[in-house]
Amino acid sequence: MILVTGGAGYVGSHLVMALLERGKDVIVFDSLELGHIEIIERLKKYGNLKFVQGNLMNLDDIRGVFLVNKNIEAVVHFAAYSQVAESVKNPQKYYYNNVYGTLNLLNAMMEFGVNKIVFSSTAATYGEPEYTPIDENHPQKPINPYGNSKLMVEKIMDDYDKAYGLKSVRLRYFNVAGADSEARIGEWHNPETHLIPNVLKATADKKFKMFGTDYNTKDGTCVRDYINVEDLAKAHILALDYLNNGGDTNYINLGTNDGNTVKEVFTACEEIKGVEIPLEVCPRRGGDPASLVADNKKAREVLGWIPQHDLDDCIKSAYEWEKVLGQIMH
Ligand code: UDP
């Protein structure tokens, strides 16, 4: 049985779907502060899924999961706050939840003898890129509390390995995009800050805001490496296999090796929707580096992972999911 913290959220729910489809038993632990019970209900149709509502800030909540479920083989840990701008305004929230919450999880794992974890880390641990594409040897110098909180957890996991034999794979995500290709689940944030859903949601009254057109890139807008959420879920399955096969603690980028500008994404969304999308050019958003592109060689070599979906697949699946989400909301 696999324990997935934050499994009612965007990336976590896509991993849960992938695990259930492979016949794995899954327990989701989620506070539902940002995750959605509707997503859990949808996932339950596809396999053996237990849901426990709890908060990692309460050690007893997470201890209770291990106490009752003696057959947890490994943990995949998504539960965290993940908004850069909010982390700058309210670092306390990020350090408490992302670091202290993880300490509680790790301590419960140690107590109950579970020593394998796959952790959602982020390209934000690299900070301002010193070269591109970014490989795993790039210095880790985060420029905001969100990135710091994730890097702290990476370091804690290294120390727990040396002292207690905890085996971790830290997956450093670039820009996750898209939805389940059958539109059963997808991205559901409130408020939404991510590029693709915001372009798709734009209306004449609420135009899409393009943040910054004066970057030193090919068309002046930021370049990002959009990695499909189903491909990302697959990488977590491979990381679990890697640990089950005796793999040592490791850290791996998940991206496509390729970048797209905000303008390219915008144009692709217009083509897929078949309409003109209302656009407002705005000043730069604070803290956005000009370009973030992953070198994903290590993921290919260590995990045998090959992304299957391109940007158009991400936009098409996100668009189909937006329609489903519209029905759920009404
Ligand atoms: N972006 C934008 N308008 C939006 C949301 C995002 O222009 O409504 C831009 C943002 O400035 C960045 C890129 O799209 O250059 C990707 O932003 P997102 O928030 O999706 O991911 P991030 O790179 O911050 O993790």
Residues 17/233, Cβ–Cβ less than 8 Å: yes
> What pLDDT, on the 0 to 100 scale, is given for residue 210?
98
55 lines ligand 1 (CB under 6 A): no
Give percent above pLDDT 90 in the chain: 97
In a domain, 168, yes or no: yes
Tell me if 60 is assigned to some domain: yes
The CA-to-CA distance between both ends of the chain, in Å, stands at 35
In a domain, 103, yes or no: yes
Residue having the nearest C-alpha atom to atom 18 of ligand 1: 194
Residue at 294 is within a domain: no
pLDDT at 206 over 90: yes
> What total of structural domains would you count in the chain?
1
Q: Which domain holds residue 85?
A: 2-177+226-256
CATH assignment at residue 31: 3.40.50.720
How far does the centroid of ligand 1 lie from the alpha carbon of residue 202, in Å? 14
Ligand 1 nearest-atom number relative to CA 194: 20
107 touches 158 (CB < 8 A): no
Give the pair of three-digit tokens for residue 112.
């109950």
> Looking at the domain assignment, is residue 187 inside a domain?
no
In a domain, 320, yes or no: no
pLDDT in tens, 274-291: 999 999 999 999 878 899
Instruction: Answer yes or no: is pLDDT of 149 > 90.
Output: yes
146 in catalytic set: yes
Q: Is this model's pTM higher than 0.85 or not?
A: yes
pLDDT in tens, 27-75: 999 999 999 999 999 999 999 999 999 999 999 999 999 999 999 999 9
What pLDDT score does 167 carry? 98
**Which residues fall within 8 angstroms of residue 301, CB to CB, at 6 or more apart?**
none
pLDDT per residue over 234-259, tens digit each?
Answer: 999 999 999 999 999 999 999 999 99
Predicted local confidence at residue 286, as pLDDT: 82
- Please indicate, yes or no, if residue 123 is contained in any of the structural domains: yes
**Residue 307 within any structural domain of the chain:** no
Q: What is the mean pLDDT of residues 285-308?
A: 95
Which atom of ligand 1 is the closest one to the Cα of 124?
25
Is residue 195 in contact with ligand 1, taking CB distance under 6 Å? yes
